Every structure is written in C-alpha cells, then in structure tokens.
C-alpha cells in the first residue's frame, strides 16, 4: 500500500473566473426565484369607503361649544364646516378662523387629517380640530 500524494495545481486566473461565475449563477437563481414567486395582495390604504352624507361632531374650545360638520361622498371628503354655537368663539380666539381655514384646505387636499402642518403656537387648536374631524369621519367609515 503505497500512499501517493496527489497534487493539484490551479492557476489563479482560472480560480477567480470560477468564483465570479459561481457568484453570478447564484445571483441569477435568486433573481429568478424572486421574480416568479407569487406576490401577496397589496391593499390600497389611500382609498377609504365612506357612507355618503354629512356627519358632525362637537368640540368644546375654551369653554365654548363648537360643531364640526364634514360632508362626504363614497370616497372623498368634500367639505368641512365649523359652526360656532356661540359668538363667544370669535372674541375668545380671534385667530381661530385662520386655523379653521388652513386645516380645512389641508384636509381637503390630503383627504386625511394625518401630517397637518401647523404653526407652533396653534398646535393645540389644530389637534382639537383634527380630532373633531376624525370623529365625524369615523361615523361615516364603513
């Protein structure tokens, strides 16, 4: 029994080419697997279905009651009305009308109360009004 060692000689160029081709083959196999795998159903979260109509919610701002009315069709917010139940709101909060106009424009443009841009001094007002709008919209959500 004679042990004859077998010696293999590789050229570096051939070894590098082989490694590159193996890596490319693995990438190609992964690409094909990901291309032909069945995709999961993607749900569209931007379109919400509403029951058409006018929905309202009440909010108390600086001890003054106010009603927020939201007009909706099947999938859009069409109008938002802020109805002061007392004339005291204009005297207690003179800048309230600017906040109301700004929040109405943003909600109608974005069709959502998420990511509203507010000034630092009006954040509390925006939060209260956005919550009132959300409450009215939630009444219409199917």
Q: Which CATH number belongs to the domain containing residue 128 in this structure?
A: 3.90.1010.20
Tokens 């974005």 belong to residue: 110
Residues 6+ apart with CB under 8 A from 55: 69, 70, 72, 136, 137, 139, 140
Within a domain: residue 40?
Answer: no
Q: What is the pLDDT of residue 48?
A: 66
Within a domain: residue 136?
Answer: yes
Within a domain: residue 7?
Answer: no
Query: Three-state secondary structure along the chain?
Result: CCCCCCCCCCCHHHHHHHHHHHHHHHHHHHHHHHHHCCCCCCCCCCCCCECCEEEEEEEEECCEEEEEEEEECCCCEEEEEEEECCCHHHHHCCCHHHHHHHHHHHHHHHCCCCCCCCCHHHHHHHHHHHHHHHHHHHHHEC
Within a domain: residue 10?
Answer: no
Within a domain: residue 16?
Answer: no
- Could you list the pLDDT tens digit for every one of the 142 residues in the chain? 578 888 878 788 989 999 999 999 999 999 999 888 877 765 555 566 788 889 888 888 777 788 888 898 888 888 888 887 667 666 767 677 778 888 888 888 888 888 888 777 778 888 888 888 888 888 887 5
Domain that includes residue 77, residue range? 53-140
Q: What is the pLDDT of residue 30?
A: 94
* Tally of domains in the chain: 1
Q: What is the pLDDT of residue 139?
A: 86
Within a domain: residue 31?
Answer: no
Q: What is the pLDDT of residue 28?
A: 96
Within a domain: residue 19?
Answer: no
Within a domain: residue 131?
Answer: yes
Q: In what order do the strands lie in the sheet with 64-72?
A: 53-61, 64-72, 77-84
């Amino acid at each position: 029994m004679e042990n004859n060692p077998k010696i293999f000689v590789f050229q570096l160029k051939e070894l590098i080419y082989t490694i590159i081709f193996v890596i490319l083959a693995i990438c190609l196999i992964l690409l094909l697997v990901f291309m032909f795998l069945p995709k999961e159903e993607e749900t569209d979260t931007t379109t919400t279905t509403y029951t058409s109509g006018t929905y309202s919610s009440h909010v108390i701002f600086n001890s003054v009651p106010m009603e927020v009315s939201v007009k909706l069709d099947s999938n859009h917010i069409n109008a938002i009305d802020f109805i002061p139940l007392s004339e005291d709101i204009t005297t207690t909060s003179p800048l309230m009308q600017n906040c109301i106009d700004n929040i109405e424009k943003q909600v109608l443009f974005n069709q959502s109360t998420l990511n509203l841009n507010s000034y630092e001094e009006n954040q509390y007002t925006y939060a209260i009004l956005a919550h009132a709008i959300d409450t009215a919209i939630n009444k219409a959500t199917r």
